[in-house]
Amino acid sequence: MDLTLILGPMKSGKTLELISRISPLKYMPVKFVLFQPERNVRDAEVQSRAGAMLSGRKVQSLKEALLEDWDVVGIDEVHMFSPEDVVVVEKLLQKKTRVIISGLDLDYKRKIFDTIVRLIELGPKEIIYKRAVCEKCLEYNGIYTQVFKNEEPVVEGPPSVVPDDGSYQYKPVCRECFIKS
Ligand SMILES: [Zn+2]
């Protein structure tokens, strides 16, 4: 059925937006599920920084979404899934499943993730671009995610998906404050 993409930088409320769209389904006769990548070490449940929470399933591949029939499938942190997994999203849409997805659109070099490119190729019904407060100038216009190590911007070195174990800090920044390599 329909695909909704919720995109934006770190701390832009993407997960909160996803949860707010999935939560009402709890009270409806709708079979739904929420997936998140196993690589996400931040939480055991799908949780937004604002505190909203919904129980989700940690999976290595989205292929698990095809094991059962769902009316609605939510996916958080989709940029961490392999681009090949987007085939699963296409199959879900063909099965008339509604799919709501959130994730980073751009990596720390401002390059769009391959996974996001493939999702856009599926022709989403809507793409919601969220903004964050720029952590440099504190304006509400953060559109990029810069990676810092010891307060210095990292312009090359780490993989496009940086480990979320505290050794690097992710900060949303605006166009003016982003430091290019
Ligand atoms: Zn700024």
* 77: annotated active-site residue: yes
What is the pTM for the complete model shown?
0.89
Query: Do 114 and 137 meet the contact criterion of CB atoms below 8 Å apart?
Result: no
Dist CA 131 CA 106 (whole Å) = 13
Dist CA 44 CA 55 (whole Å) = 8
Neighbours of ion ligand 1 (CB under 5 A): 134, 136-137, 174, 177
Instruction: Assign 168 a pLDDT band (cuts: 50, 70, 90).
Output: confident
pLDDT at res. 165: 67
Domains and CATH numbers, the chain: 3-129 (3.40.50.300)
pLDDT at 50 over 90: no
67-91 residue pLDDT tens = 999 999 999 999 999 999 999 999 9
Dist CA 95 CA 49 (whole Å) = 33
Average pLDDT of span 109-124: 96
Q: Active-site residue among 17, 77, 121, 151?
A: 77
Rg (CA), the chain: 16
Query: Do 144 and 9 meet the contact criterion of CB atoms below 8 Å apart?
Result: yes
Lowest mean per-residue pLDDT among 49-53, 80-84, 104-108, 109-113: 49-53
